[in-house]
Amino acid sequence: MKAVIQRVCHATVTVEQEIVGDIKQGLLVFLGVGKEDTKADVEKFVDKTIGLRIFADQDGKTNLSLQDMGGELLVVSQFTLYADCKKGRRPSFINAGEPEKAEQLYEYFIECAKEKIKKVEHGAFGADMKVDLLNDGPFTIVLDSRELA
């Protein structure tokens, strides 16, 4: 799995001019599922994502996680995180998960997150989505499940 995680003041995702996901302060996660990902990868990835200490405490230090500060989570599927641009100018997505499996793991990510975070919103898998956000910081982190301990 790969993710681009952004700390946001607020974020929304729209499909066909209708807002389908809307959060206030928290994390916006663009989530890509790879061919070799499993449910175990998802569980580890959820824990890492919501446990990242990237929110300010009372002293202004980044010591609080999403769980600690009661933040909200917006998850948007993005297979393009698996773009391979080594050759030519047209990206290859050969390492992205097959759509059926990727959707199952995306939904599992949301399910696991909902067990730990009060408000979890999400986009529509495979849809043309418009994402609007106010990045807080800016603070952006890129995670790859193959690089996590």
- Which spans in 62-147 are helix H? 66-69, 99-114
The residue type at 95: N
Catalytic residue, chosen from 38, 49, 80, 140, is 80
Active site residue 80: yes
- Which spans in 52-139 are helix H? 66-69, 99-114
Residue 75: φ, ψ to 5°: -115, 130
In angstroms, the CA 39 to CA 58 distance is 36
Annotated catalytic residues are 80
